[in-house]
Amino acid sequence: MTGEYSDALWPDERQTMPLRALAELSGLSEDELRQLVDCGALAPFSESSGQHVFSAVSITVARTARRLRDDFELEPHGVAVLLAYLDRIRELEAQLRALQARLPR
Amino acid sequence: MKFKDYYAILGVDRGASEEDIKKAYRRLARKYHPDVSKEPQAEARFKEMGEAYATLKDPEKRAAYDQLGQQRPGEEFRPPPEWSTQFGEGAGTFDEMDLADLFAGLTGRRGRPGRGGPAPAMRGQDYEITAPITLEEAFQGTHLNLDLTTTEFDEQGTPRRVPRIVKARIPKGATEGQTLRLPGQGGRGINGGPAGDIYLHIALRPHRLYRASGHDLFLDLPLTPWEAALGASVEVPTLAGLVNLRVPSGTRTGQQLRLSGRGLPKPGGGAGDLYAIAQIVMPPELSERERGLLKELATASTFSPRQHFH
């Protein structure tokens, strides 16, 4: 039975991919990804021969960006602003969870 | 096929202008978008309104939708028979279809063959699923059977809904808010394209004893006043079983006693910590002897916890 199960994988920071692969996985165009990098919303893992290389962690960010682009009909700059706010919200939620965990029931 | 009232979903009249439809969608999207909303059922509501907007914003699809007339939401209906030719199949095909697939298919978005050369290969659809797991499952790793309905396309490009069970092995150490990927387990590729992926968003179910923060766990540790004052060795439950914890003398309420490495395992190795939060608890009723001993202590002690008030 166990053989039928597929392994759910962690986003591995050491696993890298070129711009084209991230575009395919996220549904964003290569140009949109470059614009997100220029806005600081997406951080490339490294550059190889002038080309951006991304870690697998970027998949989640790029997919969220694609959803925001499609669902709110936003330009990359608007997506970048919203991503920054979402990141801040997630950070604050994590702090709130940490504080609530410390409170006795 | 079940009817959906796209106008009612967006809260607009059937005669609404394109601009009104866009405004209504944007207003609702701000409220229900799963990335920004905390509303209950936000994901399901957003999916519904996204589907309604995708049809009504496109004049061709909207005209086709309007041809269906107004029916009660959820009511079974059959599209006009001539629509079946759009799919190259008999009208029976509609039985396995969803209204959203019907309108997606009407514009040939999925690259159906026979429309000006070979259709391009396309990657299968990705799906996002929330996977609620218990802390015990997060600690040990687990196997999940998750319900998923995918949209698949036959050789003619006709979409149909296919219920599936996704079998996923979750590695130990997954915690709240993390996303795991099941490569190639999403929708089938089209015209030879690769399969899509499934993204699993981990949500920890509440636990009767522990509260999680990242990979650390927090547990209320009730102590008697004398255990707190004198110190004690007490048994504490961890996810791996009972351990003995030394409570130092003079422990105060709210003090965190750390059990190193007894939290949730971390993906790269190591583990979070378990914090036992001391809660000094009074007996609900005092026996005569307990009352006598406490009175004796009150008389003998010079301790004043409110000295700073003066």
What pLDDT digit, counting tens, does each position of A10-41 carry? 877 778 899 999 999 999 999 999 999 999 99
Query: From the list A2, A9, A64, which residue is nearest B35 (CB)?
Result: A64
How many beta carbons lie within 10 A of that of residue A60, not counting itself? 16
Q: Which of B182, B211, B218 sits opposite A6 (nearest CB)?
A: B182
pLDDT at B162: 86
Q: Which one, of B93, B87, B94, lies nearest residue B3 by Cα?
A: B94
What SS3 class is residue A46? Answer: strand
Residue B211 phi/psi, 5° resolution?
Answer: -120, 135
The pairing of beta strand B159-170 with beta strand B142-153? antiparallel
pLDDT value at residue B105:
65
- Decide: B141 and A5 in contact? Cβ < 8 Å: no
Q: A interface mutation test: which of B18, B26, B36 has the most A CBs within 10 A? A: B36
Count CB pairs under 8 A between chains A and B.
86
ipTM above 0.90, yes or no: no
pTM score, whole prediction: 0.80
Task: Please give the DSSP secondary-structure letter assigned to residue A29.
Answer: -
Report the pLDDT value the prediction gives residue B106, as an integer from 0 to 100: 66
Contacts of B273 in chain A (CB under 8 A): none
Which residues of A lie closer than 8 Å to B, measured between beta carbons?
2, 4-11, 24-25, 27, 59-60, 63-64, 67-68, 71-72, 82, 86, 89-90, 94, 97-98, 100-102, 104-105
Residue B275 contacts A where some CB pair is shorter than 8 Å: yes
Judge whether A54 and A88 are in contact, CB under 8 Å: no
User: Looking at the partner chain, which of B211, B267, B277 has a beta carbon nearest the beta carbon of A100?
Assistant: B211
Contact (CB<8Å) B214/A98? yes
Predicted confidence at residue B76, as pLDDT, reads: 77
Cβ–Cβ contact B80 with A under 8 A: no
Chain B, window 105-124: residues with a beta carbon less than 8 angstroms from a chain A beta carbon:
123
Is there a contact between B169 and A2 if contact means CB atoms under 8 Å apart? yes
Q: What percent of chain A is predicted at pLDDT more than 90? A: 71
pLDDT at A3 over 60: no
How would you classify the pairing of strands B210-213 and B216-223?
Answer: antiparallel
Q: Is B256 on the interface with A (CB under 8 A)?
A: yes
* CB-CB neighbors (< 8 A) of A100 in chain B: 211
Q: Closest partner residue to B36 among A7, A86, A105, by Cβ?
A: A86
CA-based nearest distance B24→chain A, Å: 12
* Mean pLDDT (whole number) for A83-101: 93
Separation between Cα atoms, residue B245 and residue B238, nearest integer Å: 11
What is residue B86's predicted lDDT score, i.e. its pLDDT? 61
A7 and B171: CB-CB below 8 Å? yes
Residue of A nearest to B254 (CA): A104
Residue to substitute from B37, B179, B180, B221, interface A, most A β-carbons within 10 A? B179
Q: Are B224 and B231 in contact (CB under 8 A)?
A: no
Q: Which residues in chain B have their CB less than 8 angstroms from residue A94's CB? A: 177, 213-214
Show pLDDT as tens, one digit a residue, over chain B (310 residues).
778 999 999 999 999 999 999 999 999 998 999 888 888 788 889 989 999 999 999 998 899 899 888 777 777 777 777 776 665 554 455 666 778 777 776 655 444 444 555 678 888 889 999 899 999 999 999 999 999 988 887 776 677 788 999 999 999 989 998 899 999 999 888 888 889 999 999 999 999 999 999 999 999 999 999 999 999 999 999 999 999 999 999 999 999 999 999 999 998 889 999 999 999 999 999 999 999 999 999 999 999 999 999 8
**In which residue are the tokens 């107004």 written?**
B70
Q: Which long-range contacts (CB under 8 A, 24 or more apart) does B144-148 make?
A: B144/B168, B144/B170, B146/B200, B148/B198
Sort B55 into a burial class: Cβ within 10 Å, 0-12 / 13-18 / 19+.
buried
Which pLDDT score, from 0 to 100, does residue B211 have? 96
